[in-house]
Chains A and B, each alone.
Chain A
Amino acid sequence: MMHLPILPILLPLLAGIVLLLLRPLGVKVQRMVSFGAGFALLMLAVLLFDASLSGQRQVYVLGNWSAPFGIVLVFDQLAALMLLVTAVLAVGALWYAIVTETDAQGRHFHVLFQMQLFGLNGAFLTGDAFNLFVFFEVLLLASYSLLLHGGGAKRTVAGLHYVVVNLVGSTVFLFALGALYGALGTLNIADMAVKVAALPAKREGLVMAAGLLLLVVFGLKAALFPLYLWLPAAYANTSAPVAALFAVMTKVGVYAIIRVHGTVFGAEAGNLAYFYAPWLLGLGLVTLLLAALGVMAAFQLRVQVAYLVLASVATLLIAVGLQSQAALAAGLYYLVHSTLLAGGMFLLADLIVRGRGDYADRFDPGMQMPHYQLLGGVFLLAAMAAVGLPPLSGFFGKVWILQAALPHPWHWVVLATVLLGSMLLLIALARSGSVLFYKVKAKPDAADPVITETIPAFGLSMVAVLWLLAAVPLLVVLANPVSAVMERVAAQVLDVSGYQSAVFAPAVGGK
């Protein structure tokens, strides 16, 4: 079992290579293999999550080059949690792509999907900053191609912006890493924390600048103000399963901030301890307000859901910026809820698009769509969860974050912003729900297009939506054990010295 930590990286990589070779056998075989690999990854993630609950960190030393000279994979509860959320989301998105035949709109959908998972899992597991950069590039390159999958001029232009912005981001990432290496002489995250703790005063400014440069990069990935302008266009113009999978992409940025900044500039970093937190909190509050305004102003459901993703990421960044264990635990609970909810909402939006014919997801009164009772009911529940109304998980997450914010000196600002943002979300989603489901025309005008009577593969598509949205009631029913687990995860993340001693322990395995 000592090779467990590397399996989530190897499985999608091998699956991707095999899928590339299987292309001559047709898309049906590819689907079976790809979904099988996705399901195996889910099983593996569950197994790993169960193994991580013991609180034991596992360090996998690649090629037996012990830290800080070689690259290590660090498997702890936070990594296990991220792997599990990603695997659940991936299975839902993959199922939807297969039943709606989105994967047949272009070549190599499944290969790219597996490569995206390979990059994501690697980014969650690595314990080395430069290796994190490499895995970022892997997941970004896969995401560029997935974003463009299926084509169309609007998608291409949105993709071009996304690619250029992220390439500039990668450049800044390298500058930040270079400056950190020049100042600290290491790129192993645990070792960087040791070096920062013993930093001479004259180097502090340089390391601080490099740390903030890194925050710019991760903020770009997490769509933090003012670097979020690429997100709505990219997410609203891509195909539904890809948008659903991308719900976890912004969370990679949040994860990187928690892992890298939380470890390197953690409680033991002397003068640099948590110096980034005020930036994160302030920008997170601004992002939340702008995201709420974006939700209000959206003309299309898909754009609205993209702004909802932005609002949830902003809430998460606020939770991280509060720099307390309770806030981090609340943020992790909210992360699980918001990622799976956003994925489900993108798929639901796509079903609504397919049910409304030429009206698509514009907020104009259209004809009654097929299955409107079920779609409307699910939309109502999803919207309630997204706004944070009781009794659903969004409410629990937000209340927990606000409770954790009370000891913080800025708590009035945080409370006011989060509550105001929730109110704006409530108004906007109530409006879109009523336009989509209540204000239907009795009979089409002569100029109106013919409305589809059925949505193809509706039942099977709905399975994927419900699979992702099932997290919302489950997180409420299991709120007590889940919140206890999140507390433990947050405690382990903040335990920097434990992280260091695990990494620098004598190597095991990985021959």
Chain B
Amino acid sequence: MELLIALSIGVLVACGVYLVLRASTFPVVMGLTLLSYATNLFLFAMGRLAIGVPAVIRPDATVYADPLPQALVLTAIVIAFGMTAFAIVLALKARGETGSDHVDGEVDS
């Protein structure tokens, strides 16, 4: 399971970095999204991976999952969502004002 999680985080980051380095705005926004997904998985894994273990106190439980990373991931998801929305609107605005979706606002010749 650890290997699977590590590989998925790695693949997500690799794809995200590749897309962020593209020259059009849409892949860049997609890349930012993939990067934030990778971050969320990474944060989640930092609380150590456990299956079927409660995060909230229960009388019959002996082992607990760490609840803090889960709270951090929730916060990170909300922030990433807001930022992605902002980035999309800004990309549209740039497209409208410069007449191209190139990240430097250049019109392809």
Contacts from A to B (Cβ < 8 Å): 130, 134, 137, 141, 144, 148, 151-154, 156-157, 159-161, 163-164, 167-168, 170-171, 174-175, 177-179, 181-182, 187
Contact = CB atoms under 8 A, between A and B. Distances in A.
B105 A174 contact: no
B53 interface: no
Interface of B: 16, 20, 25, 28, 32, 35-36, 38-39, 42-43, 45-47, 68-69, 72, 75-76, 79, 82-83, 86-87, 90-91, 93-94, 97-98, 103-105
9 contacts: A156-B90, A156-B97, A157-B103, A160-B103, A167-B87, A171-B38, A178-B43, A178-B46, A182-B45
A175 B82 contact: no
B82 A141 contact: yes
A144 B98 CA distance: 18
B83 A167 contact: yes
Given A160-B94, A174-B42, A179-B46, A134 B83 contact: no
Given A171-B36, A174-B42, A178-B43, A160 B82 contact: no
A-side binding surface: helix, strand, loop or mixed? helix
Contact of B86 (A151, A163, A175, A177): A163
Contacts of A187: 68
Contact of A181 (B46, B79, B91, B98): B46
A144 B86 contact: yes
Given A160-B25, A164-B32, A181 B69 contact: yes
Nearest to A159: B90
Contacts, number: 86
Contact of A157 (B42, B43, B94): B94
A161 B103 contact: yes
B17 to A, nearest CB: 9
Contacts of B43: 174, 177-178, 181
B39 A157 contact: no
B91 A160 contact: yes
Contact of A163 (B39, B79, B90, B97): B90
A130 B72 contact: yes
Contacts of B16: 171
B39 A156 contact: no
Closest 10 CB pairs of A and B: A182-B46, A157-B105, A153-B97, A174-B39, A178-B43, A178-B46, A171-B35, A156-B94, A178-B42, A137-B79
A139 B105 CA distance: 26
A157 B25 CA distance: 11
B76 to A, nearest CB: 6
A43 B43 CA distance: 40
